[in-house]
Amino acid sequence: MTDQMIQRAQLLMMHRKYAEAERVLQQLMTQDPNNVYVLHMYSEVMLEKKEFDQALTLASDAVAQEPDNNVLYHQRARIQLARNKYDLAAEDLDTAISLDPADANSFALYALLQLDRKQYSDALRLAESGLEQDPSNLIALNARSTALLKLGKKDASFDTIQGAFRKDPENAYTHANYGWGLLENGDAKGALRHFAEALRIDPSSRMAQQGMVEALKGKYLVYRLYLRYMFWMSNLTAGYQWAFVIGFFLASRGLNALSNTYPALQPFVVPLLVLLVVFAFSTWIIQPLGNLFLRFNQYGRYLLDKREILASNLVAGSLGVAIAGGVGMLLSGAPAWFSVLIYGLTMLMPLSVVFTASRYRWAFVAAGIFMGVTGALAILATAFGAPIDNLFGMIYGISVILFPWVINAVSIRANNP
């Protein structure tokens, strides 16, 4: 009876019917709560359901029962990665590899972890160690390809991914990974083909869906340039990202001081300064604006999730507020309309990131709510006769200045585990 129930749970998991598989596994746990294989399966179901705390508890129980089983440490490492606990995941992978140095899967997963940490040379070493054990390991092949691409070895990267296709031409992950590589290399059309193929094989692949969204927007020159900038920034470690952000700020301040000190240089310096401001502002809003335009694409609108649709709606609304403020100011000249214009333009920044998928999303939401409320109060105060630099207006102005720094700090921390 137990074997039949295990086989039924395996079949349900194979067909991704995780809720039904969970019910079967709960019955098995009642019969034998210390069965390591059942604990392992149950943990896998919880991982797929994104119930990471329960998955971790089950995996740890399994490890306690069989502390010499490398597969259990590998599974727990996957859960720790899903929880963004990179150091703990690395500890489990070190243990898994020490228990079974011939297991290519642990090397491959460790390579992916190091890719997330932007330790590209170490990721390449780990991927190649995995391939020494199993030259056909698709995860290791994909990790090696990505590491080589990040290290600037494009030809070797694409040769490696072709090797993965020879091993399994119908692997959705390989197609999606190749698509992202092509997109980073500037080939949006080629990326689209591979994302489409990945979605044909696995329509639920979020990696392919997100790639398809970016590739569709990448067909436009402005967004393609933005993607180049984002890929370049994302490949930098935290220190270099901060160096760029601070350097950009100091360069802007320096140009402004130069313009004020030497008026004769203003015809040359001011356009450059405006260009820098426009560039900085555009990096905040181009993603949700691209999603807004994508909603008019016959295919693109089906790829956006609820958060992305809502963010694009909010950005469109904020643009509408800015336009209304501009029109009102031209027609009446009232200071309140100028406040509305500034409010609509500056609120584009927090609204563009408020629904970003991040473990620090609460910070984005909190900043958006705070700025939205204080800005609205500033407009209300101005409408009742208060000067533009009223208390709420000053608080809002300070928050507009601080917002990019706070969110950059949060984003850099989130992108450098």
Segment 259-287 shows an average pLDDT of 77
Confidence (pLDDT) at 301 = 66
What does the mean pLDDT of the chain come to?
85
**7-15: average pLDDT:** 87
CA angle 172, 173, 175 (to 5 degrees): 65
Question: Stretch 277-301: mean pLDDT, rounded?
Answer: 73
What is the per-residue pLDDT across 173-223, written as a single tens digit (0 to 9) for each?
Answer: 999 999 999 998 888 889 989 999 999 999 888 889 889 888 888 878 888
Q: What pLDDT does 113 receive? A: 94
Question: To which residue do tokens 């086989």 refer?
Answer: 7
Task: Quote the percentage of the chain above a pLDDT of 70.
Answer: 94
Q: Given a cut of 90, is residue 96 above it in pLDDT?
A: yes
Of 113-117, 242-246, 263-267, 376-380, give the lowest mean pLDDT range.
242-246
- pLDDT value for 148: 93
Quote the pLDDT of residue 141: 93
Q: How confident is the model at residue 415 (pLDDT cuts 50, 70, 90)?
A: low
> pLDDT band at residue 357, thresholds of 50, 70 and 90?
low
Q: Which residue has the higher pLDDT, 359 or 363?
A: 363
Tokens of 84: 């963004």
The Cα 95–Cα 285 span in angstroms is: 44
Distance of CA 389 to the CA centre of its chain: 37
What is the mean pLDDT of the segment spanning 33-43?
A: 90
User: Looking at residues 287-305, what average pLDDT do you find?
Assistant: 72
Q: What is the mean pLDDT of residues 319-329?
A: 89
Of the segments 11-25, 90-104, 157-171, 175-189, which one has the largest average pLDDT value?
90-104
Please report, in angstroms and rounded to a whole number, the separation of the first and last CA atoms in the chain.
45
Per-residue confidence (pLDDT) for residue 99, from 0 to 100: 96
Distances, alpha carbon 22 to alpha carbons 16, 26, 277, 354, in Å: 11, 6, 53, 34
pLDDT in tens, 379-394: 888 888 888 778 888 9
State the pLDDT at residue 80: 94
How far is it, in rounded angstroms, from Cα 85 to Cα 2? 35
Share of the chain above pLDDT 90, in %: 31
Three-state SS at 146: helix
Whether the predicted pLDDT of 311 surpasses 70: yes
**205-to-77, 109, 137 alpha-carbon distances in Å:** 21, 18, 20
| Position 90 confidence tier, pLDDT thresholds 50, 70, 90 | very high
In this predicted structure, the answer to whether residue 274 has a pLDDT above a threshold of 60 is: yes
416: pLDDT confidence band, cut at 50, 70 and 90? low
Query: Which residues are CB-contacts of 18 (< 8 A; sequence separation ≥ 6)?
Result: 12, 45, 48, 49
Residue whose token pair is 């010499």: 68
Q: Which residue has the higher pLDDT, 322 or 412?
A: 322
Residue-level pLDDT at 102:
94
Q: Average of pLDDT values for 229-243?
A: 76
pLDDT classification of 131: cutoffs 50, 70, 90: very high
Q: What pLDDT score does 220 carry?
A: 80
Residues 6+ apart with CB under 8 A from 177: 142, 145, 146, 161, 207
Q: Of how many residues is the chain composed?
A: 417
pLDDT tens digits, 133-164: 999 999 999 999 999 999 989 889 988 988 88
| pLDDT range class, residue 298, cuts 50, 70, 90 | low
Quickly state the pLDDT bin for 359 (edges 50, 70, 90).
low
Mean pLDDT score, 45-61: 93
The per-residue pLDDT for 245 is: 72
